[in-house]
């Protein structure tokens, strides 16, 4: 059975370049045999957080939220493609993530970060590590950081030059790490029910 992975992306900007990275991650995981879906916060269009999914009476959550809750519950693992905004997290991705809680539990998450500068989203990556851990996910130790997207991936999301070569190398290790934790977590959930 292939790993079911959700790739989550949260930019709402009109000229967003990070979508290239989200699509790259999605394609590369699919090429490795995963059943992978890209969840684009802008397309899902959840409102600013007022009520979490679990706070709605059964059957009364907005349709987009209900559908996404089902996708999250059925996933084996997650990849968060996280832009860095002013040394912090991307608001669209954070808003999407915060609508759910228990749906994330007991599955691994990986972080692929980016920013326009040379730090490559490392500060956002660090913030997300703590946030996802608090939300019940096992955050894998491998990460991918990308500086300038337009110097790393072309418009079709294919690697460019030295930066693209580095991305390919780091992504391979990241994907191996995610696959190992995905298999381990799935086996453990089958062996023993989570404690809560």
Q: Which two tokens stand for residue 116?
A: 């326009």
pLDDT digits (tens, 9 = 90+) for 40-60: 999 999 999 999 999 999 999
Tell me if 115 sits within 8 A of 121, measured CB to CB: yes
SS3 category, 122: helix
pLDDT band at 168 (very low <50, low <70, confident <90, very high): very high
Paired tokens of 26: 């999605």
Q: CA 182 → CA 86, 106, 131, distances in Å? A: 32, 10, 19
**CATH entry, 4-191, from 3.40.50.10320, 3.40.1010.10, 3.40.50.360, 3.40.630.30:** 3.40.50.360
Q: What per-residue confidence (pLDDT) applies to 195?
A: 86
Q: d(Cα 124, Cα 88) in Å, to the nearest integer?
A: 5
The DSSP code for 55 is: G
Report residue 38's pLDDT band, with 50, 70 and 90 as the boundaries. very high
Domain boundary assignment for the chain: 4-191
* Other CB atoms within 10 A of residue 142 CB: 19
Residue range 109-125: mean pLDDT, rounded: 90
Residue 83: which residues within 8 A CB-CB, separation 6 or more?
10, 11, 18, 90, 93, 113, 114, 115, 121, 124
pLDDT tier, 117 (very low <50, low <70, confident <90, very high otherwise): confident
Share of the chain above pLDDT 90, in %: 86
At 94, list the tokens: 């954070």
On the question of pLDDT at 121 being above 90, the answer is: no
Backbone angles phi, psi at 171, to 5 degrees: -65, -35
Ranges assigned E (strand) in the chain: 4-9, 35-40, 77-85, 88-89, 108-114, 138-146
List the structure tokens of 82: 């996280």
d(CA 146, CA 158): 13
């Amino acid at each position: 059975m292939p790993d079911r992975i959700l790739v989550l992306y949260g930019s709402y900007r009109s000229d967003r370049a990070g979508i290239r990275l989200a699509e790259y991650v999605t394609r590369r995981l699919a090429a490795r045999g995963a059943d992978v879906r890209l969840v684009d916060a802008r397309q899902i269009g959840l409102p600013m957080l007022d009520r979490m999914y679990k706070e709605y009476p059964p059957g009364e959550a907005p349709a987009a939220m209900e559908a996404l809750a089902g996708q999250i519950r059925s996933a084996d693992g997650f990849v968060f493609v996280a832009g860095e905004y002013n040394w912090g997290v991307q608001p669209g991705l954070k808003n999407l993530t915060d609508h759910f809680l228990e749906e994330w539990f007991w599955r691994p998450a990986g972080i692929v970060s980016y920013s326009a500068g040379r730090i490559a989203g490392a500060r956002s990556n660090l913030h997300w590590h703590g946030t996802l851990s608090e939300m019940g996910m096992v955050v894998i130790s491998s990460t991918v950081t990308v500086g300038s997207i337009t110097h790393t991936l072309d418009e079709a999301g294919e690697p460019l030059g030295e930066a693209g070569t580095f991305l390919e190398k780091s992504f391979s290790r990241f994907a191996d790490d995610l696959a190992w934790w995905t298999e381990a977590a799935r086996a453990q959930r089958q062996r023993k029910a989570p404690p809560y």
